[in-house]
């Protein structure tokens, strides 16, 4: 595999980590799209045995980013529950909003 493909993936993973750390939603969306594009390109390339250690390191980096994302989701869900909006969070596997039942307004205007 060409090093530039792995460099692109590493760059996208670093951008994703920075966006998660900075709680920057727009940057997270951009970095996630870049990561998916880099992954698609890497999947099409031929992997050589010498690429295995770097691919393993990038997979670990991606797993760590997933843990950060899960932690952030839990924090947001907790905050929403404290506001009485715990039912407002919910997306299915296709990214579509799940039906919400019994939601109540956070404030009355």
Q: 0.75 exceeded by the pTM?
A: no
The chain-wide mean pLDDT, for the chain, equals 83
Distance between CA 100 and CA 77 in Å, rounded? 14
| pLDDT tens digits, 24-68 | 999 999 999 999 999 999 888 888 889 999 999 999 999 999 999
Look at residue 87 in the predicted model and tell me its pLDDT.
58
Which of 51, 35, 37, 64 is CA-nearest to residue 2? 51
The confidence score (pLDDT) of residue 101 equals 47
CA 27 to CA 44: how far, in whole Å?
Answer: 26
């Amino acid at each position: 595999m060409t090093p530039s493909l792995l460099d692109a993936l590493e760059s996208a993973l670093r951008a994703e980590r920075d966006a998660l750390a900075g709680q920057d939603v727009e940057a997270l969306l951009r970095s996630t799209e870049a990561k998916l594009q880099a992954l698609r390109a890497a999947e099409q390339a031929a992997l050589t045995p010498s690429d295995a250690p770097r691919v393993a390191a990038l997979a670990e980096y991606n797993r760590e980013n997933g843990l950060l994302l899960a932690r952030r989701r839990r924090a947001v869900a907790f905050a929403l529950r404290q506001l009485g909006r715990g039912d407002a969070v919910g997306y299915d596997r296709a990214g579509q909003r799940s039906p919400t039942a019994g939601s109540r307004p956070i404030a009355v205007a």
